[in-house]
Structure 1
Amino acid sequence: MLETKKMGRPREFDVDEALQAAMELFWRKGYEGTSLTDLTDGMGITRPSLYGTFGNKEELFRKALERYEQGYMGFFREAMKEPTSRAVVEKMMNGYVEALTASCNPGGCFGINAAMACSDAATAIQKAVIEKRKFGEQTLAERMQQAKDEGDLPADCDPVDLARYIMTVSQGMAVQAVAGAGRESLMKVVEMTLRTWPG
């Protein structure tokens, strides 16, 4: 279906499909490893269409990162609603394993794959990914603080340290997934983490 720009000029591609293709390319090849030619070929559009619709490469990446966060990481927000701290972490980590090992995904974590090895020229992109990760860790820490306040976690438990520990294990699983670790082996990591849950 043709979409129409404000000036009445037809846009001969599906914006949603094009953004999905860009996200998968960044996920698979990294920000700097993905060239403009990769993007235009993969998205099925011309460079003028890419710039006109998504802005430059950095802006396109930010849109792809937001799509990843809202869609593939949606389980994180849902996990925060679980009634106990252990249930929160179990749902969150199980969600990570599903996302990291789904056969329809490039594998691993979008943020780690796409931006953690950026050069100085892509510092802004790396910072954007780090800020997303910090926000996730802060959100988890706040949920752990709530659990502590409710008596669900021991009084000597530090919610910030606990959240950092869980996020570190989760990011480690993402690295393992890129290296070929399968769902079964990652689920064992989740089980070990939950076995040592405080309280």
Structure 2
Amino acid sequence: MALRGRPRSFDREVALNSVMKVFWEKGYECAQINDFTAAIGITPPSFYAAFGSKEQAFREAVDHYTATIGGAPLVALDQASTIQQGIRAMLETHADKVYACPAGGCMVSVSSIQCKPENTQVKEFLKAIRQTSFERIFARCERAMQDGDLPKGTDLTQMAEFYHAMLQSLSYEARDGDSREAIQSIIEMAMRAMPERVTVPA
């Protein structure tokens, strides 16, 4: 059966990556349709046919970001043998990734620092993603307690909140133009707050 309509003249995955970079650099409210069409090389009608609306394009772009570049730090956290190794790997991976965009920073952190009232749903969407990140850090801390990586009585909520806040702080430092070397110094300071691994009796 023949496909209806005119076939798209672009690779949608490549286009989505371009849309992601526009939102990442300009933020949700400053990014305009002409920015997307220029980045992809298509007309506005083709953009709307492919993505539906600016908000739908943004949500899809954020999902793409969190499944690829943005998700790498939490994968590094989960895969490490100890919480001490995991937190360091998470922070250093994040520090590397925040330079993947020329503007710097984490797309989820910087895309909607300020939102107009009519865009509250976008801000809540990003807030939910950040909450999920916090929950993953907290869950890893819980596992670390069970594994003997952390002393009994460690305030896991405070620990997860601290290192989650560090992710956002590193993002803003990169957006402000700090060097990767400067961010590494911040990471080393942050690691001083991490307790040494508890020795588990044989």
Taking structure 1 as the reference length, the TM-score comes to: 0.92
Dislocated runs of 4+, deviation >4 Å: none
**Comparing 16-25 and 133-142, the one that deviates more:** 16-25
The answer to whether the 8 A contact 1:99-1:105 is kept is no
SS of residue in 2 equivalent to 1:101: coil
CA distance in 2, matches of 1:30, 1:36: 13
In the TM superposition, what is the alpha-carbon distance from 1:77 to its structure 2 partner? Answer: 1.8
**Identity across aligned pairs (percent)?**
30
SS of residue in 2 equivalent to 1:24: helix
- For structure 2, the residue ranges without an aligned partner over 5 or more in a row are 197-202
CA distance in 2, matches of 1:127, 1:41: 28
Which residue pairs with 1:83 in the alignment?
81
Which residue pairs with 1:19 in the alignment?
16
Taking structure 2 as the reference length, the TM-score comes to: 0.91
The answer to whether the 8 A contact 1:142-1:159 is kept is no
Which residue pairs with 2:157 in the alignment?
160
Which residue pairs with 1:59 in the alignment?
56
Which residue pairs with 2:42 in the alignment?
45
CA distance in 2, matches of 1:6, 1:155: 62
Which residue pairs with 2:145 in the alignment?
148
Number of matched pairs: 194
Residue type at the aligned position of 1:68: Y
| Change beyond 3 A, Cα 1:78–1:182 | same
CA distance in 1, matches of 2:148, 2:9: 57
Which residue pairs with 2:4 in the alignment?
7
CA distance in 2, matches of 1:70, 1:119: 27
Match for residue 169 of structure 2 among 168, 172, 183? 172
Q: Over the residues paired in the alignment, what is the CA RMSD in angstroms? A: 1.5
SS of residue in 1 equivalent to 2:48: helix
Match for residue 94 of structure 1 among 92, 101, 117? 92
CA distance in 2, matches of 1:179, 1:105: 11
